[in-house]
């Protein structure tokens, strides 16, 4: 059955939905994305996946959710009950993951974490697919060519004389039209002028890698750069300027300002250690085997580690903070883009006509069993989140069309990516029995997600990116 008609990435499972139908699969869809209009949605969501690998914040969200999935499984087995005793789950207070991604909007001054994250994703999908794509979409959405020409008069020419690269004026025009994405870039323009074209993607990425108070640091760094000009921005080709600025900005922040920037490799390594410690005190039988690493992200992080070992063979393992690979910061560079698409392509992309793209580079040859396994992972994660009582009822939108299903009211299927033609053929009941030792209750007064958990209210400030 086709999926819903929207493009999005699930920041817990990293399954990607694309609202367009898949055309005949061809290599140049990926090698030349500017030739295909639907590739902008694909690559926008892919940028979010690359953020998941390269930014500690997303790793923390994904890993916390996965750890709770394991806890639900452990608790269900140990108690031998048909429902999970919520007071025995030992859930941690930092539960940002249950919020819908678009609701990560806790305000700190002028910006939110989502403003920076989405602004970066839009910045890069424009570069990945080309400016003409963005301008064509503006026309398709009712912006006349005359208005676009007027914008060139206001901001300046869009393209540099060689016709290959474009200026900050073009991006300002696009962001002015797409105001959902423009707040962080507009802030950078206002404070730093046209140098925002280079500064925004670099300082945005580094701020999101800086630990706590990422939003405040981003704003402070931009203002500090504008007032002191601690380093110069290279002129000319912006691909070269990005890399030059990355090196200078990293040194400025870590050496002159003496503020830490954390590698996702370090953060993930610490998360795995914590999971291992918990696992040692929570024995499970083989069929409930505890997986120390995240079910989806683990193999990508391991590949990232191997990649950095090859690039920096002489650096000791404990110095992982030095291993920042620019590809995750600068995916708009064609060389980096090609590397990321080959080595770190999103695990699953679901298209609106029911077709699926699987990352065979990391998961092996595509088979129905492999596809079912990856899609089931998302379903199980959503189920565990609902069982733990950490889901805000009003935020859960169940897309299942089978309202007559006896389990529909439970909202346990809110992360199911595709639904069968008949609810009797649904995979969910067997997943519960096999993975969680549970038989789904069918009573009408099922209250999953209805239990008020004071721990969430008490730690509301932890639900923001500002505190991660």
Backbone φ/ψ region at 48: left (φ over 0), alpha (ψ -120 to 50), beta: alpha
**Residues 185, 191: contact at Cβ < 8 Å?**
no
How many Cβ atoms sit within 10 Å of the Cβ of residue 21? Answer: 12
> Is the model more confident about 99 or about 299?
299
pLDDT at residue number 381: 82
Whether pLDDT at 70 is above 50: yes
- Rounded CA separation 242/249 (Å): 10
Q: Are strands 15-18 and 8-9 parallel, antiparallel or unpaired?
A: antiparallel
Give the SS3 label for residue 125.
helix
Helix (H) or strand (E) holding 15: strand 15-18
Residue 304 pLDDT more than 80? yes
Q: How far apart are CA 230 and CA 346, in angstroms?
A: 37
pLDDT in tens, 124-150: 988 888 777 777 777 777 878 787 777
Contact 188, 172 (CB under 8 A): no
- What is the average per-residue pLDDT within 367-378? 83
Q: Collect contacts of 88-93 with beta carbons under 8 A, ≥24 apart.
A: 89/388, 91/388, 91/390, 91/455, 92/64, 92/67, 93/455, 93/456, 93/458, 93/459, 93/462
Rounded to an integer, the average pLDDT of 268-276 is 80
Asked if 3 and 356 touch (Cβ cutoff 8 Å), the reply is no
Backbone phi and psi for residue 159, each to the nearest 5 degrees, phi listed first: -115, 145
SS3 9: strand
Q: What is the pLDDT of residue 390?
A: 60
Instruction: Determine which of 86-95, 157-166, 186-195, 376-385 has the lowest per-residue pLDDT on average.
Output: 86-95
Q: Which residue has the higher pLDDT, 310 or 462?
A: 310
Residue 245: pLDDT above 60? yes
Backbone dihedral region of 43: left (phi > 0), alpha (psi from -120 to 50 degrees) or beta?
A: alpha
Pairing of strands 348-351, 15-18: parallel
Confidence class of residue 423 from pLDDT cuts 50, 70 and 90?
confident
**CA dihedral of residues 59, 61, 64, 66 (deg, nearest 10):** -80
For the ranges 48-62, 195-209, 359-373, 378-392, the maximum mean pLDDT occurs at: 195-209
Residue 389 confidence (pLDDT): 60
Please name which of 339, 441, 301, 449 lies closest in space to residue 384, comparing C-alpha atoms: 449
Distance CA 173, CA 170 (A): 5
| Model pTM above 0.75 | yes
pLDDT at position 126 is 85
Residue 99: which pLDDT band, with cuts at 50, 70 and 90?
A: very low
Average of per-residue pLDDT values in the chain = 76
**Strand 356-358, strand 348-351: pairing:** antiparallel
DSSP per-residue letters across 371-434: HHHHHHHHHHHHHHHHHTT-S-GGG-----S-TTSTTGGGTTTTT-S---SSGGG-SHHHHHHH
Neighbours of 436 (CB within 10 A): 22
**43, two tokens:** 């690559």
d(CA 204, CA 202) in angstroms, rounded, equals: 5
Report the share of the chain in percent with pLDDT over 70.
75
DSSP state of 162: T
Q: Quote the pLDDT of residue 286.
A: 45
Contacts of 136-144 with CB under 8 Å at 24 or more apart are 136/37, 137/37, 137/40, 138/174, 138/177, 141/177, 143/177
Is residue 71 within 8 A of residue 89, CB to CB? The reply is: yes
DSSP letter, residue 159: B
Check residues 391 and 147 and name the one with the higher pLDDT: 147
Give the pLDDT of residue 24.
Answer: 64
Across residues 353-376, what is the average pLDDT?
A: 84
pLDDT digits (tens, 9 = 90+) for 166-190: 677 777 777 777 777 888 988 998 9
Structure tokens at 176: 């002015």
- The predicted structure's pLDDT at residue 152: 74
- CA gap 383, 69 in Å, rounded: 8
Residue 418: name the closest of 353, 463, 357, 364 by CA: 353
Whether residue 75 has pLDDT greater than 80: no
30 or 444: which leads in pLDDT: 30
Overall average pLDDT of the 360-389 stretch: 81
282 versus 269: the higher-pLDDT residue is 269
């Amino acid at each position: 059955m086709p999926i819903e008609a929207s493009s999005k990435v699930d920041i817990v499972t990293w399954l990607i939905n694309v609202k367009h139908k898949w055309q005949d699969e061809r290599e140049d869809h990926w090698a030349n994305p500017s030739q295909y209009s639907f590739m902008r949605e694909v690559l926008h969501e892919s940028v979010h996946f690359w953020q998941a690998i390269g930014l500690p914040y997303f790793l923390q969200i994904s890993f916390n959710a996965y750890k709770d999935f394991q806890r639900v499984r452990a608790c269900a087995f140990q108690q031998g009950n048909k429902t999970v005793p919520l007071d025995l789950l030992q859930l941690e207070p930092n539960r940002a993951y249950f919020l819908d991604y678009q609701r990560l909007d806790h305000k700190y001054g002028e910006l939110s974490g989502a403003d920076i994250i989405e602004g970066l994703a839009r910045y890069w999908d424009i570069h990945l697919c080309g400016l003409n794509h963005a301008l064509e979409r503006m026309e398709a959405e009712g912006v006349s060519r005359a208005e676009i020409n007027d914008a060139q008069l206001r901001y300046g020419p869009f393209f540099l004389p060689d016709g290959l690269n474009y200026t900050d004026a073009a991006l300002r025009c696009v962001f002015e039209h797409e105001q959902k994405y423009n707040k962080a870039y507009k802030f950078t323009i206002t404070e730093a002028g046209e140098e925002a074209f280079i500064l925004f993607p670099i300082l945005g990425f580094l701020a999101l890698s800086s630990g706590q108070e990422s939003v405040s640091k981003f704003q402070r760094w931009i203002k500090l750069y504008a007032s002191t000009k601690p380093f110069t921005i290279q002129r000319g080709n912006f691909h070269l300027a990005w890399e030059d600025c990355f090196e200078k900005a990293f040194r400025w922040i870590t050496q002159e300002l003496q503020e830490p920037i954390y590698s996702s490799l370090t953060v993930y390594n610490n998360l795995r250690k914590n999971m291992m410690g918990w696992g040692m005190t929570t024995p499970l039988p083989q069929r409930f085997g505890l997986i120390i690493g995240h079910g989806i992200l683990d193999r990508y992080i391991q590949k990232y580690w191997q990649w950095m070992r090859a690039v920096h063979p002489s650096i000791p393992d404990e110095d992982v903070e030095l291993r920042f690979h620019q590809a995750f910061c600068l995916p708009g560079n064609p060389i980096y883009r090609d590397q990321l698409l080959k080595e770190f392509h999103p695990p699953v992309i679901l298209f609106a006509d029911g077709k699926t793209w699987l990352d065979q580079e990391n998961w092996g040859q595509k088979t129905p069993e492999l596809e079912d396994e990856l899609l089931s992972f998302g379903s199980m994660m959503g189920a565990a989140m609902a069982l733990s009582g950490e889901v805000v009822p009003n935020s859960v939108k169940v897309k299942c069309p089978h309202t007559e299903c006896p389990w529909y009211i439970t909202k346990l299927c809110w992360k199911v990516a595709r639904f069968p033609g008949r609810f009797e053929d649904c995979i969910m009941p067997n997943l519960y029995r096999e993975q969680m030792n549970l038989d789904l209750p069918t009573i009408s007064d099922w209250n999953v997600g209805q239990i008020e958990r004071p721990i969430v209210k008490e730690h509301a400030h932890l639900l923001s990116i500002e505190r991660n």
